Amino acid sequence: MASAAHRRNMQRIIFLFLAILAMVAVIVFATYSSGPSKGSSTQWLSSDNHLQLFYKNSDSREWELLDLTNNSTSYSSFISAVLSDVTADLATHRGISQDEAADLLQNENYRIYTTLDPELQTVIEEIYIDFDDSTISATDQQHIQSGITMLDPKTGHILAMVGSLGKNNNSTINYARELRQPGTAITPLTSYAPAIEFGEINPATIIDEYSIADTLSTPRTVNDGIRNSIQSIDIHILRSVGLKESFDFATNNLGLPLDPADQNITALGNGKLYSGVSTEDMAAAYAVFANHGVYNNPKTYLWVEDSAGEILLEKPVSSYVAMKESTAYLMTKMLQDVVYNGTGGTAQFEGMSIAGKTGTTEDNFDRYFVGFSPYYVAAVWVGYPQNEYIDYSFNPASILWKQVMQAVHSDLPYTEFMYSRDGIITIEICRDSGMLCSQQCHEDPRGDRKMLVEVTEGTEPTTICNFHSSALN
């Protein structure tokens, strides 16, 4: 896992490389309808053209040359990411330095077969360029920034990445890959998912508020906690899982590059990490919920060929079961509730099944939203280059997420989340106690207190509600 310092150094190298690449592209890039198939030795490269990037056309399914002379779209954030990845992998593969690998990319006739979807990239770039930040003020006149990563949850392919915000933005930092604080957007990954996976809770488990927060007196469920981002419940659940178990689950199962120093309540319960995570990290972790519990390592390219069509590098497929499908299903249901009835309401739009979670740090320096549909996962971070309070009435990350996801789904057919129900049962419980209903629960003066909930088999309550019988006595 790359360190924060390594990522920053690579960004500086890559942005310099991009300037060279852009000059070469303007002079020599011609239009090709399609590129050679994998492993082909077709000779089509110009002797002046040192590097070419391909993408798979979503309609024809043919590989096509990425047109870098198109002034309407820069692709710069994605290109910086893919060149950084290829440089690092080439250095490892050849046993050479990063600088030597970068020199090879600049001077050899390599072809990189990327995961980019230019149509999605263009849509997101236009939204990010047009975003009006005039309503977000900063005391020292900093411009608000944002990064977004969108990927395919079934493959881990990064389809689009934008790393800066605004028309007149001169940032040389790709904020989509910067390590920033996720706030409470991390809790589904560190508290709720491992607790459900380990059988500690189910969505209807009642959390005893008196034991953790004197200000809350109404019985609250696990689902209430995630829907309304109730930190006392987040932390209560985290404690039930255990700090080491939570850390191991987040790093080993969900691929988050956490530091060993993050094994504490502040980091795992509040999302204030030692170094931070990127939008790429968060999108890949949340993709597990959309992908039935299976984690795919995120990637920007599939393979690299030399001028003879020989494969120099091939990105290995890294896919494994991170959690039970039943856990992914219950997490998705709760994250849908966040969007439709909770803190994620500003991300809601019609015409597609969506789920997600907001994130805010305690000092309000960082705002996050990570969400998904059956088609795509996208993670958005918003904040200032130098930490500063974000003075905004809504979560700007969820607003950007909505604009992007609504646009990219506009021509896609409505689809529900589809999961196997194996291991899931529906039970009738008392909404006040979380126990199995008694006759008194049905006869409550406020009305029937029955609630139907889905839980993982084996985590259902086994005792009859004594809350109402005790109250009546």
pLDDT at 177: 97
Lowest mean pLDDT among 41-55, 251-265, 294-308: 41-55
* pLDDT reported for residue 168: 60
User: What confidence tens digit (pLDDT) does each residue in 208-252 have?
Assistant: 754 444 444 567 899 999 999 999 999 999 999 999 999 999 999
Closest CA to 291 of 333, 318, 322: 322
pLDDT at residue number 466:
84
- Mean of pLDDT values over 12-19: 45
Q: How confident is the model at residue 138 (pLDDT cuts 50, 70, 90)?
A: low
**Nearest 5°: CA angle at 184, between 76 and 205?**
140
Looking at the chain, the whole-number percentage of residues with pLDDT higher than 90 is 65
CA neighbor of 357 nearest in space, from 367, 366, 59, 328: 367
- Token pair of 421 as six digits: 């129900």
Q: Which helix (H) or strand (E) holds 320?
A: strand 319-321
Distance CA 128, CA 117 (A): 17
Is pLDDT at 34 greater than 60 in this prediction?
no
* Integer angstrom CA distances of residue 21 from 15, 63, 167: 10, 20, 23
311-314 and 366-372 strand pairing? unpaired
pLDDT of residue 47: 37
Query: Within 13 Å, how many C-alpha atoms sit on residue 404's CB side?
Result: 35
In terms of Cα–Cα distance, which of 77, 146, 163, 165 is closest to 114?
Answer: 77
Helix (H, G, I), strand (E, B) or coil at 3: coil
| Other C-beta atoms lying within 10 Å of the C-beta of residue 264 | 14
CATH class of 1-181+290-331+338-422: alpha beta
List the one residue out of 406, 409, 411, 359 whose CA is nearest residue 383: 359
| Residue 299 CB neighbours (<10 A) | 21
Q: Note the pLDDT of residue 72.
A: 54
Q: Tell me the two tokens of residue 413.
A: 């057919």
Predicted pLDDT at 63: 95
Residues of each domain in the chain carrying CATH 3.40.710.10: 1-181+290-331+338-422
The 10 Å CB-count burial string (b at 16+, else e) for 398-426 is bbbbbbbbbebbeeeeeeebebeeeebee
Burial status of residue 316 (CB atoms within 10 A of its CB: 0-12, 13-18, 19 or more): exposed
pLDDT for residue 214: 44
pLDDT of the residue at 106? 87
pLDDT value for 266: 96
Backbone angles phi and psi of 161, in degrees to 5: -155, 130
184 pLDDT more than 70: yes
The pLDDT tens digits of the residues spanning 369-402 come to 999 999 999 999 999 999 998 887 789 999 999 9
40-49, 203-212, 220-229 — most confident range:
220-229
**Residue 31 has what pLDDT?**
28
Q: How far apart are CA 415 and CA 153, in angstroms?
A: 15
Mention every residue, 6+ apart, whose C-beta is less than 8 A from residue 252.
none
Q: Checking DSSP bridges between strand 51-56 and strand 110-114, what pairing results, if any?
A: parallel
The answer for residues whose C-beta is within 8 angstroms of residue 321's C-beta and 6 or more apart is 293, 294, 295
Measured between alpha carbons, how far is 446 from 303 in angstroms, rounded to an integer?
63
**pLDDT, mean of residues 117-128:** 95
pLDDT at 473: 47
Average pLDDT over every residue of 121-140 = 82
Find residue 391's DSSP bridge partners.
137
Residue with the larger pLDDT of the pair 453 and 32: 453
Distance CA(81)–CA(300), nearest Å, equals 7
- The total of other beta-carbon atoms located within 10 Å of residue 180's CB is 24
**Max CA-CA distance within the chain?**
90
Q: What is the pLDDT of residue 121?
A: 96
Distance of CA 141 to the CA centre of its chain: 29
Minimum mean pLDDT range among 46-55, 88-97, 450-459:
46-55
Helix ranges, 108-255 (H): 118-130, 187, 193-197, 222-227, 231-241, 243-248
Burial class (CB in 10 A: 0-12, 13-18, 19+), 374: buried
